[in-house]
Amino acid sequence: MMTLWWAQIVAVIRLEMKKTFFAKRGLWVYLLAAAPVLIWAGHSINMMMIRDHQRDVATEHPLATETLESIQHGMSRADVEEKLGPPYSRRMVRTRRQDRAWLNYTDGESNYTFMFEDGELRGISKRQIYKCSIPQDSLIFATVFQFFYLRLAIFFGCVGVFMNLFRGELIDKSLHYYLLAPMRREVLLVGKYLAGLITTVVIFTTSTALQLWTMWLHFDRAAIDEFLRGPGWHQVAAYLGVTALACLGYGSVFLAAGLLFRNPIIPAATVLLWESANLFLPAALKKISVIFYLQSLCPVVAPPDKEMAAPLLLLVSSAEPTPPFLAITGLVVLTIAVLIAASFRARKLEINYGTE
């Protein structure tokens, strides 16, 4: 019996793969997963270009930091150029009332911009060019991962994939082919769930791995090796695990929503609002959400948004993170419970396309 069920589950997965994984209608899920990879790749390429440009400039116009630091307000432009040599770039604005000039120098680490009014130094601006470090980028990655990737990309990806499994088939009027096969409805449910899970886990964990890889692309080999020897591999494993668990948890919820509700977008919107408001909920209510356990499992705590309005910042509450073992067990138990509830509904499912 188990052999037969397993063969049937594999057959359902194979069918779903053709329709979901390899179909044009699934393209938007790939785009959702690819978007953060492109952002990190763009950042890395940008950083590499800036770093290389600054190094080239520093090679062509070598200057020591002490020399640049020795320039004082009030010095004339001629004195500055004599001391530092020609700048690597300049900008001049001439009006009837005054002449303004900006001269840019670099020591390879920072950009110095000297602003002259009528030939006299009035302003000095120093900007560190390459202010990335792996710990800093890891903090930004944690914020992007927890507030955008989990809550938007994986969330909407799972909505699209899992809700389509039953509700989409009902809309397409093709569910009856499955119900006319010599297969228990519970087996069909498991097969469809696993198909959705494989699709989302493969797509989103690949995206997570690529995000991490592209994030580190512009760092030196030595810095990366040192990071990996430290917390690096643990963070990689944690993020991949959280991604997979997110697909597991959200997948079961949206599969059940697709079975239980004629308009499954309403429960999806409710879950979205609830998860979005998780930051502001009291500790007891925070625990009634998938995102709370997922965030507990993330290796780096994401800081709150600095640009959040002050009144909203006051409402942010924190709760004790759940231990990893409990978080994982809780999510798995939730998934199984939701699937069992969904299977009761699947057993009673009737085909009445006219009302869909």
> What six digits make up the tokens of 11?
């057959």
| Residue 263 in the binding site for other proteins (CB under 8 A) | yes
| Residue 183 in the binding site for other proteins (CB under 8 A) | yes
Among the candidate windows 71-79, 143-151, 221-229, 317-325, which touches other proteins by CB under 8 A? 143-151
Among the candidate windows 70-78, 112-120, 138-146, 283-291, which touches other proteins by CB under 8 A? 138-146
Contacts to other proteins from residues 312-351, by CB under 8 A: 348, 350-351
| Residue 194 in the binding site for other proteins (CB under 8 A) | no
| Residue 172 in the binding site for other proteins (CB under 8 A) | yes
CB of 62 vs other proteins, minimal distance in Å: 27
Q: Which residue has the tokens 């990737």?
A: 149
| Residue 210 in the binding site for other proteins (CB under 8 A) | no
The residues pairing with 89 across neighbouring beta strands, listed in sequence order, are: 104
| Residue 270 in the binding site for other proteins (CB under 8 A) | no
Query: In Å, what is the CA distance from 139 to each residue of 168, 176, 243?
Result: 39, 49, 17
SS3 state of residue 61: coil
Nearest to other proteins of 116, 141 (CB atom): 141
Dihedral angle of Cα 171, 166, 187, 32, to the nearest 10 degrees: 130
Dihedral angle of Cα 334, 335, 336, 339, to the nearest 10 degrees: 120
Binding mask 147-166 for other proteins (x = CB under 8 A): xxx-xx---x--xx------
CB of 325 vs other proteins, minimal distance in Å: 31
Binding mask 20-59 for other proteins (x = CB under 8 A): ---x-x------x--xx--xx-xx--x-------------
> Of 255, 36, 248, which is closest to residue 159 (Cα–Cα)?
255
Distance CA 316, CA 277 (A): 9
Q: Is the dihedral of CA 293, 38, 272, 189 positive or negative?
A: negative
Distance CA 313, CA 332 (A): 32
> Of 127, 126, 108, which is closest to residue 69 (Cα–Cα)?
126
Site residues (vs other proteins, CB under 8 A): 3-4, 7-8, 11-12, 14-15, 18-19, 23, 25, 32, 35-36, 39-40, 42-43, 46, 140, 143-144, 147-149, 151-152, 156, 159-160, 167-169, 171-174, 176-185, 263-265, 268-269, 272, 348, 350-353
